[in-house]
Structure 1
């Protein structure tokens, strides 16, 4: 009887965990949808670099939440799918895990240019430059996973693709050295982005100490934005290390592995995705005003110049 009640309790806890994730994912997707609609209804947003990069993070986060949630549900119910479908989902999910931290790094560089090089901001952050920047972001983000899956395609046998598997990136690691290569690339990206954030923070701090009055207020706000980016980026970068932590924990205990993976998903996958709306959706006066107009007066095109 105790065993049966214990099993019921464990199963109930698993369902509660899944329910919490579904509530959070749908909440964030709903918020992101409002912000994306607001972005497209105002011309000044999609002609301004920092708002375009903000929209990139919204699309990236929404896509990642959607795909990772599907993979989570499939994994929860141990539902096998064709390997080729798992490859497509994993490539998309893993690439967009990297897109957000790379975009945040570029957004920090944009704030650095705006505050430390204001006379060159218009030249360096033009519309054509922004489009090229978005393409570069996706190119850089795809490199680690192109390398990883290229190695997998070169080493996997043909029979591997004929099976149905429970979808997880772990099934594509056939040899230990594949995990080592993935770790090395992640470490390289981690170090590069951390150095960029620290450099921008130090330079903006220098400007903040040198200026005064209204300029100091603007610079201080830019500095706080960089700090928020740094915190969000830290959570995203830790997410890149989660697979290695989970692999080590799996060697100790399956139950501990499942708990650690759940906590990692909430802390380093969901949490950073709720910071983007905070940084540019609620802290930015222009965007917040447009968002309020859309919510309370309907989805209509707003001329920001008249605000």
Structure 2
């Protein structure tokens, strides 16, 4: 009698699946370790956790780490066809649904912070105080919870009590009984990203105006802020493309399973893992103060001694 895996995956795919899972595990472990190093660096210096842009950076690191960890569990479950009860799937998917949006919303907040720092420098200290930063983090999580609340609300209304104890292959699609639920989910995400894109374009244009008018150190700072906004825009683009992946994969599933599996694997690497490794690059390595602190702590102070 065939085992569960062979019922759903061709036998020729078994080795492929194992190889691909191993590659994903290596990438996830690398990204999580990098994020952990950056979080430790962030926690070591008071100037980091009292400065808005560094606090928001830490939020993206934690958000990306939660998402990588939980989505990786779903990847493993899917590849090896491990089913779990629906109530447990709800808990996992709540984290995934919330934190898949926290990063792009936080990136938008970081773009606004750069706009205030460059275009409204005299009000930067007032608007980007520690108190306001905490309020900003709460707002970010509230806005990021909207898609999750809508999706689960429509599910709770439609599902019977017995369904929660059923064993299912865990994915967000489990909560979609009707096609209108998928359209509603897509509409909410598209609206969110449209608003974020408008904010990002507005900040880019305003910072560009200041960069053209500035001179000396101000011009250098403005150009650096402009490059940061462009990188944030690239990250948001990757996150936006990610929203379309489930629709593309669903169409391919009806045509060719091998093609579906390959495209889904590539989508996970490019649009889930790649955007999450850009944050450390943008702020962890490009920011001089943070990069110097990182070198100092993880060279056991040797870099600092050599500069004295």
Q: TM-score range by the shorter chain?
A: over 0.9
* Other-structure match for 2:239: 236
Matched, 1:279 2:278: no
Distance 2:105 2:256 in 1: 34
Distance 2:262 2:153 in 1: 31
Distance 1:253 1:287 in 2: 47
User: Is there any run of 5+ residues in structure 2 with no aligned partner, and where?
Assistant: 1-9
* Other-structure match for 2:250: 247
Distance 2:72 2:293 in 1: 30
Please tell me whether the aligned partners of residues 144 and 185 of structure 1 are also in contact (alpha carbons under 8 angstroms): yes
Matched, 1:52 2:55: yes
What's the CA shift string for 1:209-242, capped at 9, x where partnerless? 1111111111111111111111111111221222
Distance 2:94 2:261 in 1: 23
* Other-structure match for 2:229: 226
Aligned match of 1:145 in 143, 148, 156? 148
Distance 2:195 2:211 in 1: 24
TM-score by length of 1: 0.93
- Classify 1:187/1:106 alpha carbon distance in 2 versus 1 (closer, same or farther; 3 Å): same
More RCO (CA 8 Å, sep 6+): 1
Aligned match of 1:128 in 127, 131, 134? 131
Give the CA RMSD over aligned residues. 1.4
1:108-127 aligned within 5 A: 108-127=111-130
Aligned match of 1:30 in 19, 28, 33? 33
What's the CA shift string for 1:36-68, capped at 9, x where partnerless? 001011110000000000000000000000001
1:95-110 aligned within 5 A: 95-110=98-113
Residue 122 of structure 1, CA deviation? 0.7
* Other-structure match for 2:215: 212
What's the CA shift string for 1:281-307, capped at 9, x where partnerless? 000010001111110117xxx9xxxx9
* Other-structure match for 1:170: 173
* Other-structure match for 2:87: 84
Residue 249 of structure 1, CA deviation? 2.3
Any idea what SS the aligned residue of 1:81 has? strand
* Other-structure match for 1:4: none
TM-score by length of 2: 0.93
Distance 2:88 2:140 in 1: 25
Any idea what SS the aligned residue of 1:174 has? coil
Matched, 1:70 2:73: yes
Distance 1:17 1:170 in 2: 23
Residue 9 of structure 1, CA deviation? 5.1
1:178-217 aligned within 5 A: 178-217=181-220
Any idea what SS the aligned residue of 1:297 has? coil
Please tell me whether the aligned partners of residues 236 and 268 of structure 1 are also in contact (alpha carbons under 8 angstroms): yes
User: Is there any run of 5+ residues in structure 1 with no aligned partner, and where?
Assistant: 1-6
Please tell me whether the aligned partners of residues 86 and 166 of structure 2 are also in contact (alpha carbons under 8 angstroms): yes
